[in-house]
Structure 1
Amino acid sequence: MSSTDKTIVAVDLFCGAGGLTHGLERAGIDVRLGVDVDPSCKHPFSANNNASFLLADVDDLDASTVANSLRGGRVTLLAGCAPCQPFSTYSRSAARKGGGKRKGRGSRDDWRLVQRFGELVRALQPDLVTMENVPPLLDQPVFAELLTCLDGYSVDHRIVDVRDVGLPQTRKRLVVVASKLGPIELAAPDNDGGPATVRQAIGSLRPVAAGEADPSDPLHAASRLSAINLQRIRASKPGSTWRDWPDELRAKCHQRSTGATYPAVYGRMEWDQPSPTITTQCFGYGNGRFGHPEQDRAITLREAAMLQGFPANYSFLAGEDRPSFARIGRLIGNAVPVPLGEYVGRILRNHVDAFLDKEELGTVA
């Protein structure tokens, strides 16, 4: 094991269900605390990871709370994936907690939580920083502001195609890393096996029908299909769209000229290709190309989680017999894919290893 095992201690802000934390822990990083405003995150985060969970709005979080969790670490890391959509789950939950629209929210405030992350970096001055976000953040003024908060750090960033870290999914994310220890580089992912496939991720799971669940795994549950949608999925071929259906199965909106611009719905996945981007609505057949490659249903919540890189036994339910598709789907779709977190964790571990080797040799400035 690396000399950095349990050397890097971390706090994960906007931790969600724990995808980033789980990946960082796999890489040997000691995540002490996860913070999120959504109470639904508590069980999956705490049940599957070694970190504590704090139900709190990061926008109101006192820096001393984070500092206490980082205390005693030889190398400290502040990590997070700040929600940036104006109507993100995090923003809506925070608004409900505050009794309405949050103070000061405006069009520029779409990126407020990214600003808050930068403010906490500036206040805490951890040794390492990492943030994952949507690629359009690069073109926003707030990204330049974030880099200002990282003054004194070596910084690198990269748009990562998650297929390059072995995730069977079409998804690109912006990853930022920063270090006070010395120059740091986000090396290109090294995935010798090539992109994984839907078959490799979920092909071994037990078949279930639409509206049913695996008795041994309540999360391996498929949403119901209406009679017309059952006909539609039976008429769908892997990789095809609704354009291949007979006219009588097409929705009215698709029959209008405007409908032709929305081909990426009501489709089946392909066994030997990556899946489409897993969204918060991935359990619905009509919400994207989320049809199972051969079974007449949408993918189950368990399949969606595994396509996000979560282990097959990752617990999202705290004793419920049947999951809430909307609630669990939100947690899965908003999660940082686990292999992406592990990729970042290994970059940071290798960086710290190199620093510690130089320190032992007395060559650190």
Structure 2
Amino acid sequence: MIEAVDLFCGAGGLTAGLRKAQIQVRAGYDIEASCRFAYEHNNEATFVDKDVSKVSGTEVQSWYQSPGAVRLLAGCAPCQPFSIYNQGKDTTNDAKWPLMGAFARLIKEVQPELVTMENVPDVTKHQIYHDFVKTLKSEGYFVSPDVTVTCKDYGLPQQRRRHVLLASKLGPIALIPPTHRDKPVTVRDAIENLPKVAAGKCAPGDPMHKAAGLNELNLRRIRESKPGGSWREWPKELVTECHRRTSGKTYPSVYGRMTWDDPSPTMTTLCYGYGNGRFGHPEQDRAITLREAAMLQSFPRDYLFVEPEKPVHFKTVGRMIGNAVPVRLGEVIGLSFQEHIRMLSREKTNT
């Protein structure tokens, strides 16, 4: 049996995935109090509203309750300081920088048998990441090969690319092989069966299946947009001023529609906005809804992000969805740890 604590847990994407892989997640830590309901309601685990830098190893250790269980400590530190979207910006004083160091400290104090970290691919370009890996190795961990995961190869209906680190005190470890490289899951597979919704409207019975409104100009733009196409195909009068400038001509996917038979683009915290990327629905004249975004992140259709009868705010829920570890990626991480334990058990039996 594997027991886990999830640091920087957000709305519970990683926890939900680990639970699908039969890992018992006891608690999640995050400073975003708005995530408490989603995390606890859907995952049967305790949400702790606390800054990870102020958490002690003794506190984390107290969550591991089953004698003989293998302990997993997961810590997907906020990715903003390492993201490609911050290229050219000074992030030196970003308060999120020290969080990977706080995670390393907790690993040293708790000494869990298993560790995982997920982040943007560019995290490997920063010294703090290499210091983190050095700490793991100095504490006796085997660290998985340095790989960037293309999530569609593992059944996520999304082009997302992430760096995934696995570490174990028990022996060499690696992510399981790709499961969907020859047959990716598509936008059609993920969301085609949802009810139709007009821009600015919400489907009955699901306040998450709600589309942002569009002004008349953006309605004209989306009606001129072909799935997989770009604003370059619009009539000249519809092209935005920023795209007329040289600096804007390198962003063809903005104001774009998704295509049914491909995985979606990467979901961001603003994925509910038509002008924020290729977030137009493949055929309906609107941006994708919050529910569609969550399902493209592989959250179950019945995953609740907001308490019943409470208002659903695009910005708040969009942050939960865009910042989440996709549930399917969490499941793949969990399955990799389960396979690791099975292999060690087989090796022990054969000796």
2:155 corresponding residue in structure 1:
166
Q: How many angstroms apart in 2 are the aligned matches of 1:329 and 1:308?
A: 12
- In 1, are the aligned partners of 2:155 and 2:179 still within 8 Å (CA)? no
1:124 corresponding residue in structure 2:
110
Match of 1:136 among 106, 117, 122: 122
Residues 1-365 of structure 1 mapped to structure 2, 5 A cutoff: 7-73=1-67, 74-86=69-81, 106-107=92-93, 111-150=97-136, 151=138, 152-156=140-144, 157-191=146-180, 194-359=183-348, 361=349, 363=351
Q: How many angstroms apart in 1 are the aligned matches of 2:170 and 2:18?
A: 19
Flag structure 1 segments of 5+ consecutive residues without an equivalent: 1-6, 89-104
- In 2, are the aligned partners of 1:225 and 1:297 still within 8 Å (CA)? yes
Q: Is the partner of 1:213 in helix, strand or coil?
A: coil
**Structure 2 letter corresponding to 1:63:** G
TM superposition shift of 1:192: 6.3
Q: How many angstroms apart in 2 are the aligned matches of 1:200 and 1:127?
A: 37
Q: 1:87 to 1:171 in 2, by over 3 A?
A: closer
Q: How many angstroms apart in 1 are the aligned matches of 2:232 and 2:209?
A: 29
TM superposition shift of 1:171: 0.8
Q: 1:226 to 1:87 in 2, by over 3 A?
A: farther
- In 2, are the aligned partners of 1:86 and 1:109 still within 8 Å (CA)? no
How many corresponding residue pairs? 340
Q: Deviations over 1:101-132 (max 9, x none)?
A: xxxx9448653111111111111100000111
Out of 314-323 and 281-290, give the one that drifted further. 314-323
- In 2, are the aligned partners of 1:219 and 1:322 still within 8 Å (CA)? no
Q: How many angstroms apart in 2 are the aligned matches of 1:127 and 1:173?
A: 23
Q: Deviations over 1:34-93 (max 9, x none)?
A: 1110001101111110211111111111221110002435210001210132499xxxxx
Q: How many angstroms apart in 2 are the aligned matches of 1:117 and 1:248?
A: 51
**Structure 2 letter corresponding to 1:120:** L
Q: TM-score, normalised by structure 2?
A: 0.93
Out of 158-167 and 302-311, give the one that drifted further. 158-167
Q: How many angstroms apart in 2 are the aligned matches of 1:211 and 1:249?
A: 21
- In 2, are the aligned partners of 1:210 and 1:298 still within 8 Å (CA)? yes
**Structure 1 letter corresponding to 2:345:** L
Q: 1:321 to 1:71 in 2, by over 3 A?
A: closer
**Structure 2 letter corresponding to 1:10:** A
Q: Is the partner of 2:165 in helix, strand or coil?
A: strand
Q: 1:265 to 1:192 in 2, by over 3 A?
A: closer
Q: How many angstroms apart in 2 are the aligned matches of 1:191 and 1:305?
A: 20
Q: How many angstroms apart in 2 are the aligned matches of 1:235 and 1:14?
A: 41
Q: How many angstroms apart in 1 are the aligned matches of 2:249 and 2:340?
A: 49
Q: Deviations over 1:261-292 (max 9, x none)?
A: 22220000000011111000000000001000
Q: Is the partner of 2:80 in helix, strand or coil?
A: coil
Q: How many angstroms apart in 2 are the aligned matches of 1:313 and 1:25?
A: 16
Q: TM-score, normalised by structure 1?
A: 0.89
Q: How many angstroms apart in 1 are the aligned matches of 2:178 and 2:253?
A: 28
Q: How many angstroms apart in 2 are the aligned matches of 1:297 and 1:276?
A: 16
TM superposition shift of 1:205: 0.2
Q: How many angstroms apart in 1 are the aligned matches of 2:262 and 2:291?
A: 19
Q: How many angstroms apart in 2 are the aligned matches of 1:49 and 1:198?
A: 26
TM superposition shift of 1:193: 5.8
Out of 189-198 and 25-34, give the one that drifted further. 189-198
**Structure 2 letter corresponding to 1:77:** L
Out of 133-142 and 301-310, give the one that drifted further. 133-142
Considering only aligned residues, what root-mean-square deviation do their CA atoms show, in Å?
Answer: 1.8
